[in-house]
Amino acid sequence: MPEKHSSVPFEAILDTLVEGSKSLPASYLTRFSDIQSSDLALLKKSWANIKPKRRLSLVEDLIRQNQENTLVCFDDVAVVFLEDEDARVRSAGIRLLRESEDARFVERLITLLEKDKQLLVRAAAASGLGPFVLLGELDKISPEKLAHIERVLLPRITGTDDDLVRRSALEAMGYSSRKEMVHLISEAFEENDPDWIASALVAMGRSASEEWEMHILRSLFHPDAVVRLEAIRAAGALTLTRAVEPLLELLDSGGEIGKELRFAAIWALSEIGGEKANAALESLLDNAATDEEADFIEEAIENTSSGSGTLGLDFIDLDNLQQSDLAYEEADYTEYDDLEEESDEDNTSGRQYRYDDD
């Protein structure tokens, strides 16, 4: 277990938060993990005295801590964040639960999805239900709980809520094996709106089904940068061997694709693996332009060796992407159309789920 610095009174940590002029030392963040009931009571009592900006900063710090440290668990304090009056804090609190397997949060997320007045919170709640759909498919929550989640999310996809909520529901249900999802994903992919296409690609990547291979391969050269990004992610998530060549082509374009797309392609290669992908990663490491890129490629190579995709690409915040980072000279979007004419005999793996316990 991580060191908690229990010698520091929790009241002192709260005083620092309330006072607001001093930054909270990162080493103290673990005190919010598996928090003691007495400390949780103190946090609830002091929460209203902490400035909204400081509350949001705390939750975002805990999210980063959660991403970097697999031993921490902030489920108990997340309850406080979900009840905050600030929509940004509620949304961040939902993101903090991304790794949670505690089914008690299902009803809280459903309530936020159905009743919260803020669009961003409803969308975050829909997204937050996605991991629980996966847990249901893996028999880690009850069939009844999974069925309840699906009954809530499915109508949202085709409902009258804002498109962001509907797309978030589609992405969350990407983990589902329900037969309706093939039609819903296909329908979203055929939309003229790049946002819907991107969400369809997210759902494809989560489906654990190679039936979407052609859609994903063609989308690697879509004119919209976010669509390309999600296609890259989906290719990695589904370990599509035939995506290696187009991914290498994207990487050969150098700085034209921007850092986010470049890093996404590198990570996708590590998830796909194989002799060609591995050799490409080694070559990329030898020619890395920056120390940051070299460090990332080393992580990708380690990921290939371990056969685990636990890092994923959630570190890329689409809301904060700059258009210059995603700039790319438009390629031939139809380049991979002829792949549809090839035999599907090698696509026999069927549906399977991959889950990383760590």
Strand, coil or helix: 165:
helix
Residues 6 or more apart whose Cβ sits within 8 Å of residue 47: 55, 80, 84
CA dihedral 241, 338, 196, 133 (to 10 degrees): -40
Confidence of residue 137 (pLDDT cuts 50, 70, 90): very high
Residue 273 token pair: 């693996």
Count Cβ neighbours within 10 Å for each residue of 328-338 and write b for 16 or more, e otherwise.
beebebeebee
**8 A C-beta contact, residue 43 and residue 28:** no
Please give the pLDDT value at position 317. Answer: 43
Tens-place pLDDT, residues 68-97: 888 999 999 999 999 999 999 999 999 999
Q: What is the DSSP string of 7-58?
A: TS-HHHHHHHHHH-SSPPPGGGGGGGTT--HHHHHHHHHHGGGS-HHHHHHH
Please give the pLDDT value at position 6. Answer: 56
pTM over 0.75: yes
- Name the more confident of 63 and 329: 63
Percentage of the chain beyond pLDDT 90 is 73
C-alpha span between 156 and 165 (Å, rounded):
7
Tens-place pLDDT, residues 276-297: 999 999 999 999 989 999 999 9
Please give the pLDDT value at position 337. Answer: 46
Average pLDDT rounded to a whole number, residues 159-170:
97
Please give the pLDDT value at position 26. Answer: 76
Query: Residues 269, 270, 273, 275: is their CA dihedral positive or negative?
Result: positive
What's the mean per-residue pLDDT of the chain?
A: 85
Please name the helix (run of DSSP H) or strand (run of DSSP E) that holds residue 179, with its range, or none. none
Strand, coil or helix: 266:
helix
